[in-house]
Structure 1
Amino acid sequence: MATLSRRPHRKSRTGCERCKKRKVKCDELKPACTNCLKHSVPCNILATSPSASASPGALVPTENGSSTMPKVADPSLDSSCNMPVVEGWQQAADLNILDLELLHNFCTSTCYTLHSDPTLKTLWAINVPKLGFKYDFVMHGILSLSALHLAYTRPERREWYISQATLQNQASLGLVTSILPNITDENCSAVYLFSTLTFILKLASPHKPGDLLVIGESGLQEWLALFRGMQAIILSSHDALESGVLGPMFAVGARRSRLRDVYTSEQSVEVMQLGNLRCAIQRHVIQPHLLLVYMDAIDELQKSFALAYNGAFEALETGEVFVFLFRVSEEYFRLLKDRTQESLAIFAYFCPISKRLEGNWWSKGLSSHLMSEIYPLLDEEHKLWVQWAMEEIGWLPTRETGY
């Protein structure tokens, strides 16, 4: 009787190392193939390197790209702990070491850098990961932010951690798409947290030339459009958010918001500088409806100025800085998209306030980046309008920015 021979497997000569080990077809997408992205594991499609041989007792890669302990000699008994080996033990022991590293870094380090209030530091350390365990899109956002933090604290591996942050962020965006049209009282906290993580991720990510951070060529940047849209979620799910795991975040924010209104009347040299901008716009803008839009924007900016330059506050929180971007009208953003000189000049005065956040790793260089994008769009007269804001953040134009 003829012996049945096994059909030979045609090995792939291209693709990433993990797909080769799993003997699956690699679509060779960059910076990561679809299989690795689906399993949330690192992909070396850009630079495949030979695997290092495992030392005794070391974790070794399995077919699905995670890591596990090597098999012991006796298939039914692990002599190191005298425990019987259960069928399917290898699958149960699979670990994604990269995800564990990122989560550990978030819970022991990153979470404490996101707010100065002790209560909210604890919330980021405990409540936020709990939401991540319940909602995958939140967990991917957490891991993405942690990867960017490691890129900052470990500059020797900066590019690698940035690539991992990109992969985690892509996974998060892909998963949340189906949730956004169906926001309920049960998932509203997770969606709100996702928007917050997206906001911080945008600030922490490397900024590219030509990126105004708020307004792009096609209009309002996606992250800010999503974040401004959270106002509708807060209104529709207000009670659920306040009573949920993120409740303390809203309680602290409400208290700080009241302080912002209290200190609106505070006068200082900085607030007076904003007054000079107000007078300049009043002299140059003759259309009543445009003047009203600009004056309302300056009023909101003045509230942030009064709080930012009040000596009673050692630290300015993120919400107190960026609340300006959510209080101004849609008409102001339309004017900013059209690059009107007055709207750009007002936005330039937002830079000194954003400078107050730059003690945080995730907002380093934010004010200078914003100013470098605004300045070239101004004519010679309006460049003089923003001179004080430039000096306040210590920024000087270069040849690339219209010197």
Structure 2
Amino acid sequence: MPPRRSHKKSRAGCRRCKARKIKCDEVHPRCGNCTKHGVACDFEHPGIVDTLSPVETPRPTTSTSNCDSPSTSTLPPTPSVESSTPLPLYRNPEPLPLTNSNKSNRMMELKLLHHYTTITCQTLAISSPVSEKIWRDTVPNLAFTGAEFLADALLAVSALHLRSHAPQDQELIRASHSYMASTLSEYSARLGKGITESNAEALFLTAALIAFQSTASRIFARDDSSDLKDRSDGYSLPLSWFHSFQGIKAVVASSWQWLRHSGIVIPIIESQPALNLDLSGQNANFFGHLLTGVEEEVASQDDPTTQELTRQAYQHAVAVLDWAHKIPHTGAPLVFLATVSRRFVELLESRRPRALAILASYFGLLKSLDSVWWLKGLARREVMGIVSLFDPDDEEWWPRLQWPVRIALYEGDFIPPDVWGAESCTETALLDQSGQNGGYVSHIELVSQMFSAVQNMPPTMPGDALDALAHQTFLARSQEFNRQMLLRDDTHVLH
């Protein structure tokens, strides 16, 4: 038997190689084995092993390539640093890099916020620099102080605005639906917990943006006046508009004790042109023909309370049309949505011919604001859609629809007085006459008092007492719509 070769046993190997009972090449400042497996070596940092728990002996493996893999090693990889740099005993993990999806979401939010503060905020108010500044500066700052539902509402509206320039952009479509779904969910939850002094402003502003989103979404509706007669489901009335604005009224009335002192809400309310309504219905006015025969219609209803509410609903709606007809370019026609009564909305839901004719005239008024992006082309589509609901042989109502049809189909940026039907008054002249009925603040004071008196009554009460219920109905429908849109990734939004 040949003699055994002599061998010199070294005790200068690194402690890791000793623990693993393998030969260490004793290369400094980091031995070959530690370098190979990307682990710390006490040659490089003599004090590190003393601070750690004993090195775990690795499980036997059949392949050396898997030996001491990151899943079984108890020591973190040694970073590439100069030997003179002290290695910290415990290192905070580096932040995970953003995934492509997270990066995309983050860039989308930045894009939407920038677009809102630079462009979209200018379109939320018409002829009101004060309101524009509030929507641009004050509202985002309020959203950043804990009102995430308000921030989501801003992003949803901004996405809708961008989508008006790129209707088929799937990312914008999803962003618009997703942010509004988040807004509706959190907004409903906050309303359920009650309005307080601390959240009243944010809830009012969110309600206003929800109403704006509902209104602006109509430009993406699939109802096209050119093919209404070819569609089996016909024309869809924009009832969500009215439900959302009834919701604003409910929020304002129930939180007026705090909003009346708000430096944010009051300027927005007072920026609207002052109401100067003739509620008697006795004086000559441009839309007076829409009230012809109203007493006969009212008399056909059995309940005296319903009769009076119906009469007042028609008279008030027509009075608003007459007032807005004189100052259309101030944005006055938009006030119609916020001022009509709950009873008028019910009459629309029943598709009463008089209510539909009044609504057609309202959309005719919106032709004066056709240059606004979220109203572009809307007057033509809505008027012709409402007309499609009438029998062409109806001799009673067709003559009353001639003005909105003529206005809706008019080509040109400026509608002359002989086509519009009357010389427009100046807003200053109407403001001088506003003392008779007061401005919006005094009107809201009365509504708030009424709301406080009836809020504990059963929900069968007609009229404005049902505003809150209407708003909850709108929210429920909006949430269901957004849920379906997110699931289906549809390219259309709420009618």
- Quick check: TM above 0.5? yes
Q: 1:363 offset after TM fit, Å?
A: 1.8
Q: CA 1:296–1:383 in 2, change beyond 3 Å: closer, same or farther? A: same
CA distance in 1, matches of 2:81, 2:201: 46
The residue correspondences of 1:147-226 to structure 2 (distance < 5 A) are 147-154=159-166, 158-182=169-193, 183-205=195-217, 206-209=220-223, 212-215=236-239, 221=240, 224-226=242-244
Contact 1:316 1:357 survives alignment (8 Å) = no
Q: CA 1:327–1:198 in 2, change beyond 3 Å: closer, same or farther? A: same
CA distance in 1, matches of 2:94, 2:268: 45
Q: 1:294 offset after TM fit, Å?
A: 5.2
Does residue 277 (structure 1) correspond to residue 295 (structure 2)? The answer is no
CA distance in 2, matches of 1:75, 1:327: 70
Q: CA 1:384–1:246 in 2, change beyond 3 Å: closer, same or farther? A: same
Q: 1:232 offset after TM fit, Å?
A: 2.9
Contact 1:152 1:158 survives alignment (8 Å) = no
Contact 1:264 1:307 survives alignment (8 Å) = no
CA distance in 1, matches of 2:398, 2:317: 19
Q: 1:164 offset after TM fit, Å?
A: 1.9
Tell me how many residue pairs correspond in the alignment. Answer: 304
Cα deviation 1:231-254 (Å, max 9, x = unaligned): 23222321422333523434524x
Which of 366, 376, 393 is 2:378 aligned to?
Answer: 366
RMSD value over aligned CA atoms?
3.6
- Counterpart of 1:335, as a letter, is L
| Larger RCO, structure (CA 8 Å, separation 6 or more) | 2
Identity over aligned pairs, percent? 25
CA distance in 1, matches of 2:255, 2:328: 33
Does residue 241 (structure 1) correspond to residue 251 (structure 2)? The answer is no
Contact 1:336 1:344 survives alignment (8 Å) = yes
- Correspondence for 1:114: 124
Contact 2:214 2:244 survives alignment (8 Å) = no
SS in 2 for 1:208: coil
- Correspondence for 2:95: 90
Cα deviation 1:107-144 (Å, max 9, x = unaligned): 11111121121111110111111122121111111111
- Counterpart of 2:389, as a letter, is L
Q: CA 1:4–1:366 in 2, change beyond 3 Å: closer, same or farther? A: farther
The residue correspondences of 1:25-174 to structure 2 (distance < 5 A) are 87=92, 90=95, 96-115=106-125, 116-133=127-144, 134-154=146-166, 158-174=169-185
Q: CA 1:211–1:203 in 2, change beyond 3 Å: closer, same or farther? A: farther
- Counterpart of 2:109, as a letter, is D
Contact 1:148 1:162 survives alignment (8 Å) = yes
CA distance in 1, matches of 2:60, 2:406: 88
Q: CA 1:214–1:344 in 2, change beyond 3 Å: closer, same or farther? A: same
CA distance in 2, matches of 1:386, 1:378: 10
Q: 1:301 offset after TM fit, Å?
A: 3.3
- Counterpart of 2:350, as a letter, is D
- Counterpart of 2:379, as a letter, is S
Give ranges in structure 2 of 5+ residues lacking alignment.
1-58, 64-78, 83-90, 224-233, 412-495
Q: CA 1:201–1:336 in 2, change beyond 3 Å: closer, same or farther? A: same
- Correspondence for 1:47: none
Contact 2:245 2:337 survives alignment (8 Å) = no
Q: 1:325 offset after TM fit, Å?
A: 3.3
- Correspondence for 1:25: none
- Correspondence for 2:316: 300
Does residue 389 (structure 1) correspond to residue 386 (structure 2)? The answer is no
CA distance in 1, matches of 2:336, 2:268: 17
Scaled by the length of structure 2, the TM-score of the pair is: 0.53
SS in 2 for 1:243: coil
Give ranges in structure 1 of 5+ residues lacking alignment.
6-73, 78-85, 216-220, 397-403
Contact 2:235 2:389 survives alignment (8 Å) = no
Scaled by the length of structure 1, the TM-score of the pair is: 0.64
